[in-house]
Chains A and B, each alone.
Chain A
Amino acid sequence: MGPSCLRRAVPLALMAATLSACSGGDDGRSSVTVLAAASLTTAFEDLEAAYERAHEDVDLVVSTGGSPSLAAQAAAGAPASVLITADPESMQPAGEAGVLAGEPASIATNAVTIATPTDAPGPVVDDAAGLADDDLLVALCAPEVPCGRAAEELLTAAGIDAEADSLELSVRGVVTRLELGEVDAGIVYVTDVAGSDGTLRAVVTDAPDTVGLVRYVAAPLEARPGGAELVEFLLGAEAQGILAEHGFGAP
């Protein structure tokens, strides 16, 4: 190796040393990962803070996404402690794969609603029938995800023949398109409207309150420890209070 080679090797070695030093630097807390349905994103900001206050040795890591893809990740052995899906049906693939370390427990309920941007750039949607208007841009959840199934139920019950312009794989996709004003209407959870700081407005339908409901279930996973404790926390008074504050219904 000539001197010019050495000149290059030294910074590389230094870099490698720094990198390995970084990866070792944790603050002694053990990390507990939870895979949570996308509609829980905002609520989990508060839930995470509360859980970490109660368990100072735990760093809660929240990974959100569409329920079926989270269940698929869990089924494939994702290194997480808890799986939360927006309906029991989405949990099934994980159950069948044998990765659950306990029975799924109901932690909350939610309901879907038609929503529209408050400062609508396009046509204003005042009633549910407006969703059937072909000129309207409508975003719905895909039927593969819980909010899509609930949305279909709501549309059927309200007798609306809505034509979607985009089918999103998580409710957050619909919320974003509404908040950006790229679509005129969509179906999201009531908690999304409540957490939108007034950028979204719910549109009332004739459908009874009993349709378009989802029930969140949480289960500890075999892959990592600490799951049962977190599920227990979610069922407790403090977590239930936080969920209620965000507009979720009791399990």
Chain B
Amino acid sequence: MTGPRRRRPPAALAVPALLAVLVLTLPVLGLVVRAPWTDLPSLLTEPAAREAIRLSLVVAAAATVLSLVLGVPLGWVLARVPFPGRRFVRVAVFVPLVLPPVVGGTALLFALGRQGLAGRLLDDWFGIVLPFSTWGAIVAATFVALPFLVLTVEAGVRSLPQDYEEVACTLGAGPWTVFRRVTLPLIGPSITAGAALAFARAIGEFGATVTFAGNLPGRTRTLPLAIFTALEQDPDTALALGVVLLAVSLVVLVALRDRLRGPR
């Protein structure tokens, strides 16, 4: 029973499992097969395509940096500081993960739009209008990317034995020094993984962006919006841009390979 002999899986499990693999791989295969590989260089060097690629990198990078600056502290607080309402905060972190992005965009519009709750004040006090600006696209991308960073960092901090931090404390280090010199280096891999996930989510962001930030080349038309727009008239360009995002996903998967490796 416990020998190394491989057991045949029952058909009732093997067949749906195989179907699941098909559901996951078939669409990607469709993209790869149908992609205009020979025209790829010329399609991707078109000014509109280059602009979308550049904008996407800027928006995703900015959203990742914002997520790091805000998310690492929140992840640490959630893992280490018991405070009333912590459960509520954790639910709030999960909201963007389960909320359809277009609903997120609508919510952003009514909160930070020119007529929105906070957006009205931003406009009146500082003359800042987020919709239709690259900052709007960055805010939308951060909204959806931040949870990935917070949750990964929180899990990383939780998995640390508190001994190191306590020893550092007894040796006279203040809490900030402990965080900076002990905790931060130890959760380095979690931060990297969280940042990779946040970047991947940010660069693929569509629904919240198109709803909240609009669709303008060079300003808010990131790769997913460019793909959606190109599909109207020029499916080949849409496929070529799709290949770019597929490549980005592969790079992220490679960056995360240590975490993805299942048990042998």
Contacts and interface: CB of A to CB of B under 8 A. Distances in A.
Contact of A166 (B215, B228, B232): B215
Contacts of B77: none
B239 to A, nearest CB: 13
Interface string B226-251: 00110111010000000000000000
Nearest to A138: B132
Given A137-B132, A164-B216, A165-B216, A122 B232 contact: no
A180 B109 contact: yes
A169 B114 CA distance: 21
Interface in B91-116: 109, 113-115
Contacts of B231: 69, 72
A99 interface: no
Interface of B: 109, 113-115, 129, 131-132, 214-217, 219-221, 228-229, 231-233, 235
A100 interface: no
Interface in A167-186: 167-169, 177, 180-183
B216 A167 contact: yes
A227 interface: no
Given A165-B214, A167-B215, A182-B131, A121 B232 contact: no
Interface of A: 66, 68-69, 72, 121-122, 137, 139, 142, 144-145, 164-169, 177, 180-183
Contacts of A121: 114-115
B115 A169 contact: no
6 contacts: A137-B129, A144-B232, A145-B232, A165-B132, A181-B114, A182-B113
Contacts of B235: 72
A125 to B, nearest CB: 15
A182 B109 contact: yes
A137 B128 CA distance: 13
A180 B113 CA distance: 9
Contacts of B114: 121-122, 137, 181-182
Contacts of B221: 167
Nearest to A140: B216
A167 B221 CA distance: 9
A169 B132 contact: no
Contacts of A168: 214-215
A49 to B, nearest CB: 29
B113 A166 contact: no
A240 to B, nearest CB: 29
A121 B113 CA distance: 12
B67 to A, nearest CB: 25
Nearest to A184: B114
A218 to B, nearest CB: 20
Contacts of A144: 229, 232-233
Nearest to A166: B214
Candidate in B216, B217, B219 with the most chain A CB atoms within 10 angstroms? B216
Contacts of B113: 180, 182
A165 B136 CA distance: 12
Given A68-B233, A181-B114, A166 B216 contact: yes
Contacts of A142: 215, 229, 232
Contact of B215 (A122, A169, A181, A183): A169
Contacts of B109: 180, 182
B196 to A, nearest CB: 31
Contacts of A181: 114-115
B34 to A, nearest CB: 13
B210 to A, nearest CB: 9
Nearest to B110: A180
A166 B220 contact: yes
A166 B229 CA distance: 12
